Amino acid sequence: MPAYIIAHDIGTTNHKCTVFNDEGEVVSSAARAYPTFYQKGGIAEQDPSDWWRNFCETTVQVLKDINPREIAGISFSAHMNGCLPVDSDGKPLMRSMIHADTRSSEIESEIYSKISEDQLYGITGNRLESRYPLLKMYWMKKENPEMYSKAKYFLQAKDYLAFRLTGNLGVTDYSDASLTGAFNLETRDWEASIFKETGLDLTKMPTPVPSTEVIGYVQKSTALVTGLVEGTPVIIGGGDGACATVGAGCLAKDETYLSLGTTAWVSKVADKPFIDPDKRVFTICDLNPKYYNVLGTMQTAGSAYEWAIKQLSSITDWETVSVEPEYSDFETQLKTVPAGSRGVIFHPYLLGERSPIWNDKARGSFFGLSLEHNRFDIAKSVLEGIAFSLASISEIINNAGSKREIRMIGGLAKSGTFIQIISDVLNLPVRLTENASEATSIGAAIAGGVGVGMFPSFEDAASLIHTGNIYEPNQQHTEIYAEQLERFKVLYDRIKDIPFYT
Residues 92-148 have pLDDT tens digits of: 999 999 998 989 988 888 988 899 899 999 999 998 888 899 999 999 999 999 999
pLDDT reported for residue 403: 64
Q: Give the chain's domain count.
A: 2
pLDDT reported for residue 1: 58
pLDDT reported for residue 112: 86
Which element (helix H / strand E) includes 405? none
- Stretch among 274-278, 334-338, 344-348, 357-361 having the lowest mean pLDDT: 357-361
- Structural domain contains residue 34: yes
Check pLDDT > 70 for residue 304. Answer: yes
CA distance 400 to 397: 8
Domain C-terminal end among 203, 236, 269 = 236
What torsion do the CA atoms of 352, 354, 356, 360 make, to the nearest 10 degrees? 40
- Structural domain contains residue 145: yes
DSSP state of 272: S
Q: Rounded mean pLDDT of 350-366?
A: 91
DSSP sequence for 117-184: HHHHHHHHS----TTSHHHHHHHHHHH-HHHHHH-SEEE-HHHHHHHHHH---SEEEHHHHTTSS-EE
Omega before residue 35 within 30° of 0, cis: no
CA distance 413 to 80: 23
Q: What digits encode the pLDDT tens for the residues 216-268?
A: 999 999 999 999 999 999 999 999 999 999 999 999 999 999 998 888 999 99
Q: Rounded mean pLDDT of 305-312?
A: 94
Check pLDDT > 90 for residue 331. Answer: yes
DSSP state of 101: -
Which element (helix H / strand E) includes 70? none
- Structural domain contains residue 464: no
pLDDT reported for residue 129: 85
- Structural domain contains residue 82: yes
Check pLDDT > 90 for residue 413. Answer: no
Residues of the domain holding 281: 258-428+485-496
| 236 backbone dihedrals φ, ψ, rounded to 5° | -65, -30
CA distance 107 to 136: 10
Q: Rounded mean pLDDT of 206-221?
A: 98
Parallel, antiparallel or unpaired: strands 430-433 and 406-409: parallel
- Structural domain contains residue 349: yes
Check pLDDT > 80 for residue 402. Answer: no
Check pLDDT > 70 for residue 307. Answer: yes
Same domain, 171 and 283: no
Same domain, 61 and 201: yes
Same domain, 53 and 140: yes
pLDDT reported for residue 310: 94
Q: What digits encode the pLDDT tens for the residues 430-451?
A: 999 887 778 999 999 999 999 9
Q: Rounded mean pLDDT of 280-295?
A: 97
Same domain, 227 and 262: no
CA distance 156 to 166: 16
- Structural domain contains residue 210: yes
Average pLDDT, the chain: 94
Q: Rounded mean pLDDT of 68-72?
A: 97
CB 215 within 8 Å of CB 162? yes
- Structural domain contains residue 245: no
- Structural domain contains residue 453: no
Q: Rounded mean pLDDT of 345-362?
A: 92
Contacting residues for 258 by C-beta, under 8 A, at least 6 apart: 264, 265, 266, 390, 406, 407, 408, 409, 410, 422, 430
Q: Which of 493, 250, 240, 259 is nearest to 390 (CA)?
A: 259
CA within 13 Å, CB half, 465: 30
Check pLDDT > 70 for residue 406. Answer: yes
Check pLDDT > 60 for residue 502. Answer: no
- 71 pLDDT band, cuts 50/70/90, is very high
CA distance 446 to 449: 5
Q: For the domain that residue 39 is a member of, what is the CATH number?
A: 3.30.420.40
Helices (H), 343-474: 375-397, 416-426, 439-451
